[in-house]
Amino acid sequence: MGTIVLARIDDRLIHGQVMTSWLNYTGANRIIIVDDETANDTFLKMIVTSVAPANINTEVFDMAGGVTALKNLADNDKVIVLVKSPAVYVELMKQGVILEKVNIGGMGAKEGRSKFYKNISASEAEKACLAELVNNGVAVSIQIIAEDKAIDVAKLLS
């Protein structure tokens, strides 16, 4: 069975930091994006998948498709999973996708969110989702790039 080498929350999904730092660090050979909005927008989907390196299989799924893809990884898959919200990981977990760690890379300021840690913002609902992940044994940390020290989110929630 394949492995999820990085499960990341990032508003921007794919961008320079993900491509360089995390692909090198994890040795990933596949990126799975689970985001209903992106999956249902042909133009957005094309943009997001075109940003990934050509040698990395990059796919965009809605929730149902993401669950299926993540439960049926090939043996040699080393997958980076990208989502925009912690609620997606809560739902994936409820659907039987096993998550050991979740990384927060980018949750920017926007309406309904307040400062959570440095340049990371979260709404009360997002904090509740992060707490649910932690309470279900998922190690949640903030780590922008692989070289950064990971910040344990469980300590920030208490």
Whether residue 145 contacts residue 21, with contact meaning beta carbons closer than 8 Å, is answered with: yes
Q: Would you state the structure tokens that stand for residue 97, as one six-digit string?
A: 């996708």
- What is the widest separation between alpha-carbon atoms in the chain? 42
- Give the pLDDT score at 134: 98
Q: Would you state the structure tokens that stand for residue 64, as one six-digit string?
A: 């149902």
Whether residue 19 contacts residue 93, with contact meaning beta carbons closer than 8 Å, is answered with: no
- Give the pLDDT score at 1: 79
Q: Tokens 């957005």 identify what position?
A: 44
Q: What is the pLDDT along the chain (158 residues), one digit of tens a residue?
A: 799 999 999 999 988 877 788 999 999 999 999 999 999 999 999 999 998 888 999 999 999 999 999 999 999 999 999 999 999 999 999 999 999 999 999 999 999 999 999 999 999 999 999 999 999 999 999 999 899 999 999 999 97
From residue 141, give the alpha-carbon distance in Å to each of 9, 75, 116: 10, 27, 12
Which residue ranges make up each domain of the chain?
3-157
Q: Which CATH architecture has domain 3-157?
A: 3-Layer(aba) Sandwich (3.40)
Whether residue 125 contacts residue 91, with contact meaning beta carbons closer than 8 Å, is answered with: no
Out of 2, 3, 11, 15, pick the active-site residue. 15
- Give the pLDDT score at 25: 94
Active-site residue flag, 15:
yes
